Chains A and B, each alone.
Chain A
Amino acid sequence: MKIIEAIGAYILDSVAALGNFVLFLISGVTYILMPPFKPRLTILQIRTIGANSLFLIVLIGAFTGMVLGLQGYTTLERFGSEAALGTVVALVIVRELGPVLAALMIAARAGSAMAAEIGSMQASEQVDAMTVMALNPVQYLVSPRILAGVISFPLLTGIFDVIGIMGGWLVGCVLMGAQTGDYFNGISSQMGADDIKLGLWKALVFGAIVMWVSCYKGYHAERMATGVSRATTEAVVLSSILILAADYIVGAILL
């Protein structure tokens, strides 16, 4: 009997937790649309998520493109298809690796920091202080971050894509011997607006997911040091899982 009770309690808790998780997103998105608007906070978060992640994105984008250039050239050379290198590198980066890797990197850098910051604010009663001032903490802490994520992720993904393609060109054409003309002609002839749109839609969805998860985990962190560290870890792990799941779902819908 106790086992059945425990299973029942677990299921009820899980459903309640899932409900809270979804309601948190709905609340965060709703307050984006409700005055008073917080453009200054959103810009600050765009700086935190976007500008401060730029170097990381450039670095990861460059190495991703360089690896694709290297592996792509050596593989295509076997079939005498080096001319397709640009198309392969660009499509793989723009449609898939750009949004996914950029999102994973930002989740690790900005998402974890966000969960830790909001978790610390909970632990030190700063969130309660806002509530007692008759201010809505979700409107101050969550909504600007979700909006900033939705704006920043596509921009960072675009930068990742360009740097990645240039990285592929550097290795494939400058170091390995593929023709620069073939590389860029392949891209311009084979890559269309739909490919770019697919990548940017993915980035937008990933941006919302990372901010949603990170804010939720921080907001509901236990009010102690271990609670904050656990929230940080869970934010990165859950964000990463949801990014990969959403990658498939968005891809399947838009293909």
Chain B
Amino acid sequence: MAHLTMTSNGNDAPAANAIEVRALRRRFDHQQVLNGVDLDVPAGSIVTIVGPSGCGKTVLLKHLNLLLRPDSGTITIDGVNVTRLGWRGIDAVREWFGMLFQSGALFDSMTVYENVAFPLVEKTSQTKDQIRGRVIETLQAVGLEGMDNKYPSELSGGMQKRAALARALIRRPKILMLDEPTTGLDPTRTGAIHHLIRKTQKDFNLTAVMVSHDVPAVFEVSDRVAFMHRGRMQLVGTVEQVMSSSDEEFKRFLAGRASGDEDNSTVSS
């Protein structure tokens, strides 16, 4: 399989779309979780995927970060079709990613400093001083200066998310993926994390794909919104376009009313 480098486009011009998803399908046992997903993620923007529980959002994100492979369809990241890459190619593409997991996924046995430094220690040949400088800088960027010696269990939920975000950013990724970054946080901390995501996206010039349940609060920091329903994109557009849509399913979702069969339509959100 092809080996990829950081400049996969072959030129310096940024791709119009950092990520393009076409006709993505994935079935688990007897359930069609992704049912022909199409999605464009413009470079340098925040695209937020929303939708009812079980509609396939997290499964889609796991395809975008290459934890899962589709049955059919294509995912093109920065001009590279990643759906048929071998493991070396996949590892090369993953160098472009930062991922914030729903649970934070910080390593329990490591301090905040060790967690954030981990990708640099393992994947680069930087000196200890260089790593320390980068970690301190990144912790400052997410508002966690002075917390480097704490263990994840000693942090609040919001701080854990910040630490996880710092770890996702430490290698200066091109693309940041966020899976429910505000789950379990109170409204104040939710707002703070949303604004941190926007600030980070601007500061680091990132493309971000975010799965979220926090509607409509999350729209404040989104450039585009994709509403997912029954394994496909029902509605995609700017926040204004989506909010002014007359789509019944989306209105029902915004109003917090279930459509009746959504929770048993798929395996996992």
A residues whose Cβ falls under 8 Å from a Cβ of B = 36, 120-121, 124-126, 128-129, 131-135
- In the assembled complex, the CB of A217 is this many whole angstroms from the nearest CB of chain B, namely 19
Assembly CA distance A173 to B36 (angstroms): 79
Contact A128 B101 (CB under 8 A): yes
Assembly CA distance A16 to B119 (angstroms): 34
B residues whose Cβ falls under 8 Å from a Cβ of A = 65-67, 90-92, 94-95, 97, 99, 101-103, 105-108, 118-119, 122-123
Assembly CA distance A124 to B123 (angstroms): 22
Residue of chain A at shortest CB distance from B102: A125
Assembly CA distance A28 to B263 (angstroms): 39
Contact A132 B65 (CB under 8 A): yes
Contact B91 A132 (CB under 8 A): no
Contact A134 B65 (CB under 8 A): no
A124 / chain B contacts, CB cutoff of 8 Å:
103, 105, 108
- In the assembled complex, the CB of A190 is this many whole angstroms from the nearest CB of chain B, namely 47
11 intermolecular pairs with C-beta atoms under 8 Å apart:
A124-B105, A126-B105, A126-B106, A128-B105, A129-B101, A131-B67, A133-B94, A133-B119, A133-B122, A134-B92, A134-B123
Contact B105 A134 (CB under 8 A): no
Contact A132 B123 (CB under 8 A): no
A125-B103, A125-B105 known; A135 and B122 CB under 8 Å? yes
A126-B105, A126-B107 known; A133 and B123 CB under 8 Å? yes
- In the assembled complex, the CB of B239 is this many whole angstroms from the nearest CB of chain A, namely 28
Pick the contact of B99: A36, A126, A132 (CB < 8 A): A132
- In the assembled complex, the CB of A14 is this many whole angstroms from the nearest CB of chain B, namely 18
Contact B94 A134 (CB under 8 A): yes
Contact A134 B101 (CB under 8 A): no
Contact A129 B105 (CB under 8 A): yes
Assembly CA distance A101 to B67 (angstroms): 41
Pick the contact of A129: B66, B99, B123 (CB < 8 A): B99
B102 / chain A contacts, CB cutoff of 8 Å:
125
A125-B102, A129-B101 known; A134 and B95 CB under 8 Å? yes
B123 / chain A contacts, CB cutoff of 8 Å:
133-135
Contact B67 A134 (CB under 8 A): no
> Nearest 10 A-B pairs (CB), nearest first?
A129-B105, A125-B105, A134-B94, A134-B91, A125-B101, A132-B99, A133-B119, A124-B103, A126-B105, A125-B103
A133-B119, A135-B123 known; A128 and B94 CB under 8 Å? no
Known: A121-B107, A134-B92. 5 other contacts (CB 8 A): A125-B103, A132-B67, A134-B94, A134-B95, A135-B122
- In the assembled complex, the CB of B118 is this many whole angstroms from the nearest CB of chain A, namely 8
Assembly CA distance A147 to B107 (angstroms): 22
